[in-house]
Structure formats: C-alpha cells, structure tokens
Amino acid sequence: MDSVMAAPDAPPQAVVLVSAGASHSVALLTGNALCSWGRGEDGQLGHGDAEDRLVPTVLSGFDAPGITSVICGADHTTAYSEEELQVYSWGWGDFGRLGHGNSTDVFTPQPVKALQGLKIKQIACGDSHCLAVTMAGEVQSWGRNQNGQLGLGTTEDSLLPQKIQAFEGVCVKMIAAGAEHTAAVTEDGDLYGWGWGRYGNLGLGDRNDRLLPEKVSSVEGEKMVLVACGWRHTITVSDSGTMYTYGWSKYGQLGHGDFEDHLVPHKLEALKDSTISQISGGWRHTMALTSEGKLYGWGWNKFGQVGVGNNDDHCSPVQVHFPEEQKISQVACGWRHTLALSEKKNVFSWGRGTSGQLGNGEIVDRNTPVLIDALSPDGSGCKKLESSAAAPFAAKVWVSPSERYAIVPDENVPKSGEGTARGNGADANVPENDVKRMRVQS
C-alpha cells in the first residue's frame, strides 16, 4: 500500500501539559505548538508585545523543534527543546531570572545560551529564581538570591546559571521553587531545603534561612519521590504515595485541618488512604492528584482557586469535581488560579480570572472548573486557536521597577521559636496587601 501523507490538520492537536504563573498560563500541544494566555505586561506570554490574551494564543514566531516542557515562573516562562538541548526563557527579566546574563525584559522566547547542550531532566521556576536538573542529576540555578534560594552559599543574585556545587556526588531527581525558597529530592529519596525559611518551609525544624542545600531529617524512613513548593510552603510525596506538607499555613494550605505552621514535614492524614501521584503549590493553596485521577484542593480560596464551588478557605482537602467525573491527569497551580488536564485531554481552569488567565475569553473569577473551549476536545478542540501576530515587537517604553512596583517594607523577622501560635496571627513579614509584587496602579 502506498504511504500517504496525512492532512496537516490530522490528527487533531491535543494538549500535552499545562503550567500556570502569577497571572498567566501556558500549554504545550502535540505538534510542538506552544500557546499562552493571561497577563502579558512583562512579555511572559512570548507574543512579542505586552498585551493580555483572554484566550489561548499560539506563539507563532517560535519554531524550536522538540519542545518537551514549558514552565511558568511568576511573571516569566521557560521552555526546553530536547531536540536542540536548549532552554528558552522570556518575560520579566529583573534579578536575572531569565538566565540571559542581564535583567532585561524579553517579549519573545530567547535561548539561555549558558545551558546550551545540557540534557535537562526538569526545570523549576519560582517567583524570581529558576533551577534546572540535568539527566546526570546536577543542578543549575539562576536569578534572585537574597535569601540564598539559589543554593550557592551566597546572597548574590546570579544573572547566569551556576552549578550548585553543594550537590557534588549527590544525584538530584527533582526540584521545586517557591517565592524565595527551594526544595529537592534525590534519586536516593532524600529531601533537601534551602533559601528563605521563616515559616519552617525548609522542613529543617527551625525558621532560619539556609544559603546551601541542607538535608531534611528522614521522615519515618520513607524515601521521597516528588516535591513541590507553594509561595512559602512545601509539599512532598514518598514512594508509598504518602503526602507530607510543611511551612506556612495561615490559610490552611498545609491541609492538616488547622492553621498551624509546621517546621518539619507533617503527614497529611486526610489523604492517607489515597496514593498521591502529583502535587502542585499555589501562592497560598495546594492541589493533589491521586493515582485514580481524583483531584483534591485546599488553602486560600478567596478567588475560588481551590475549585470546590465556594470562596471559603479550606484547611483540609476537598475533592474537586469535573463534568462526567472525568479523571484528571495533570494539575498546575498559579498564584491565584488553577489548571487541570483530564485524561480525555480536556483543559479546565478556575480561580482568579481578571487578566484572562482562565482562557475563557472572560475576566471573571470562577470557583468551579470551567472547560477551556479552545483547547478541549469537548469544546472546539484546538481547531481554531488564535495566533500571535508574527510581526516582531519593536519598541517598549521602559519603566523602572521602582515606578512599576510599590516599595517592599522592612520585614519584621520572628526570632527562632517565636512566631505565632496560629499561622494567621501577627503576620508582619508578609504584608496583607502583597505590597512586594503588586502593581502600583492596580
């Protein structure tokens, strides 16, 4: 039988994975297409401009082959081409978080030349710092480092990726990045934490920062296989599928039925009968996916980001329900919104929607999962995705960060062992209005 070339539009594109940042979202599609939506002010959407997009929009000018992963930081995005052995990044450039050797904002994907040729296993992006694990288990880190979150033994920001020498002889399996802290699990199942630690989010039993990776005491002899960070909390899963959380719990984001911070990993009893297969941390909320495809959420829920039909904070896991109870295969927490990919390849979003990050063409918040029509087989299914104009972005009026952002007040640091009895007591070092990252004009 003669071989016949398939028509360009067959088979239909499907979503492979999703990721979410502070106020933007991305998806990788079969056929090597990348699309993004939500806030674009800092170039994090990669479309060559600073416009928001309310629906998923394909990056028309980006044709790197063999893209296998795409990860959102707060206001920037990275992607990895396995074929080229090349990391790309774009978006807000302050503190060197793009890894390009400067602090310039970038509006289309640019190669991170310092990482060219490395076989990357996984990339993690926090608020202002990033890390990459190589197939050999080495870790490179770059970006902001004021609390030692790069693991380099200093508090100097790094405009270029640097190898974490402290992991010499240790094979790292997975890394996770929070706002200003980092966590890792090794191939041997050891758990490490470093960076900002004032809520116990390093798991080391105190509230001190660490400039170098430090091993967390073993948890009941269990080996850890997954790790994720929220803004100031950390989540880990053992090889038995048991979940542990630690750090900040002012909004119940640890899921232990209370609002108590935990300084060491604490077993999540509520899900002890489930095998946890995937975890994700938001700004102040947490999601966990079981091996049966059930999704649970808890924590801060002001915008409905937990996805359970109300806007109450939840300090214990609550199951998120989907149409026809379809099983979920991937979950991604943004700061105030959440994305999920179902086994049927439908994409759902919920939570904060004011920048279009839910991808529904609206700017409203949702407290239950809503199908992203453009990406889902049960919707229009990637048949008529919008594309960014291929015209290069010529000029952007540069506004200094001090004009764009409010000033960070001095943080009042609780002394070791001090802290409040309840996580939601006097929370002086995390201003309630999130002044650190809030746009002055918003």
- Is 352 within the bounds of a domain? yes
* CATH code, domain carrying 301: 2.130.10.30
What number of H helices and E strands is found in the chain? 1, 29
Share of the chain above pLDDT 90, in %: 82
d(CA 131, CA 369): 30
Q: What is the pTM of this model?
A: 0.88
The whole-number average pLDDT for the span 168-190 is: 98
Model pLDDT, residue 224: 98
User: What average pLDDT does range 86-104 have in this prediction?
Assistant: 98
Q: Answer yes or no: is pLDDT of 149 > 50.
A: yes
Query: Which residues lie across from 287 on neighbouring strands?
Result: 280, 297
Residue 281 belongs to a domain: yes
| 178 within a domain of the structure (yes/no) | no
d(CA 350, CA 366): 5
pLDDT of res. 4: 45
3-state secondary structure the chain: CCCCCCCCCCCCCCEEEEEECCCEEEEEECCCEEEEEECCCCCCCCCCCCCCEEEEEECCCCCCCCEEEEEECCCEEEEEECCCCEEEEEECCHHHCCCCCCCCCEEEEEECHHHCCCCEEEEEECCCEEEEEECCCCEEEEECCCCCCCCCCCCCCEEEEEECHHHCCCCEEEEEECCCEEEEEECCCCEEEEECCCCCCCCCCCCCCEEEEEECCCECCECEEEEEECCCEEEEEECCCCEEEEECCCCCCCCCCCCCCEEEEEECHHHCCCCEEEEEECCCEEEEEECCCCEEEEECCCCCCCCCCCCCCEEEEEEECCHHHCCEEEEEECCCEEEEEECCCCEEEEECCCCCCCCCCCCCCEEEEEECHHHCCCCCCCCCCEECCCCCCCCCCCCCHHHHECCCCCCCCCCCCCCCCCCCCCCCCCCCCCCCCCECCC
Average pLDDT over residues 374-395: 77
Specify the pLDDT at position 243. 98
- Tell me whether strands 347-351 and 337-342 are parallel, antiparallel or unpaired: antiparallel
**Cα–Cα distance, 294 to 216 (Å, whole number):** 29
Q: Is the pLDDT at 388 greater than 70, yes or no?
A: yes
Closest CA to 70 of 127, 137, 125: 125
How many CA atoms does the CB half-sphere of 208 hold within 13 Å? 9
Residue 437 clears pLDDT 60, i.e. is over it: no
Quick one: tokens of 310?
A: 């109300």
* Per-residue confidence band for 393, with pLDDT thresholds at 50, 70 and 90: very low
Q: Does residue 50 register a pLDDT over 90?
A: yes
Q: Is 249 a residue whose pLDDT tops 90? A: yes
* Total domains present in the chain: 1
What would the pLDDT profile of 200-243 be if each residue is shown by its tens digit?
999 999 999 999 999 999 788 899 999 999 999 999 999 999 99
Is 341 strand, coil or helix? strand
Q: What is the pLDDT of residue 12?
A: 75
Q: Could you tell me the residue range of the domain that residue 65 belongs to?
A: 18-122+211-217+239-404
The verdict on residue 30 lying in a domain is yes
In this prediction, residue 11 has a pLDDT band, given cuts at 50, 70 and 90, of low
Find where tokens 């966590």 sit: 183
Size (the chain), residues: 442
Q: What is the mean pLDDT of residues 400-425?
A: 39
Q: Which tens digit of pLDDT belongs to each residue from 307-356?
A: 999 999 999 999 999 999 999 999 999 999 999 999 999 999 999 999 99
Selected residue with higher pLDDT from 421 and 376: 376
Within a domain: 280: yes
The whole-number pLDDT of residue 227 equals 98
pLDDT tops 70 at residue 425: no
Q: For residue 415, count other CB atoms closer than 10 A to its CB.
A: 7
Per-residue model confidence as pLDDT tens digits over 399-412: 444 444 433 334 34
Instruction: Give the bridge partners for 236, in sequence order.
Output: 227, 244
pLDDT of amino acid 142: 98
Whether residue 101 lies inside any domain: the answer is yes
Residue 49 main-chain phi, psi, to 5 deg: -145, -175
Phi, psi of 279 (to 5 degrees): -135, 155
What is the average per-residue pLDDT within 84-111?
Answer: 98
Residue 231 in domain: no
CB 336 within 8 Å of CB 282: yes
Query: In the predicted model, what is the mean pLDDT of residues 171-179?
Result: 98
Residue 56 CB-density burial (10 A; 0-12 exposed, 13-18 middle, 19+ buried): buried
Q: What is the pLDDT of residue 174?
A: 98
DSSP 365: -
**Which long-range contacts link 339-345 to residues 24+ away (Cβ below 8 Å)?**
339/18, 339/19, 339/20, 339/25, 340/18, 340/295, 340/369, 341/15, 341/17, 341/18, 343/293, 344/377, 344/378, 345/14, 345/15, 345/376, 345/377
Q: What is the pLDDT of residue 439?
A: 39
pLDDT at residue 436, rounded to an integer? 35
Tell me the three state secondary structure of residue 206. coil
Distance between CA 246 and CA 199 in Å, rounded? 9
Q: Average pLDDT over the chain, rounded to whole?
A: 89
- Please give the pLDDT value at position 240: 95
Place of tokens 């992963």: 69
Q: Is the pLDDT at 377 greater than 80, yes or no? A: yes
Query: According to the model, what pLDDT value does residue 172 have?
Result: 98
Cis peptide before 11 (omega within 30 of 0): yes
Q: According to the model, what pLDDT value does residue 427 have?
A: 35
Among 201-205, 263-267, 391-395, the least confident range: 391-395
If one compares 199 and 1, the residue with the highest pLDDT of the two is: 199
Q: Is 41 within the bounds of a domain?
A: yes
pLDDT of residue 115: 98
Three-state secondary-structure class, residue 97: coil
Lowest mean pLDDT among 91-95, 288-292, 415-419: 415-419
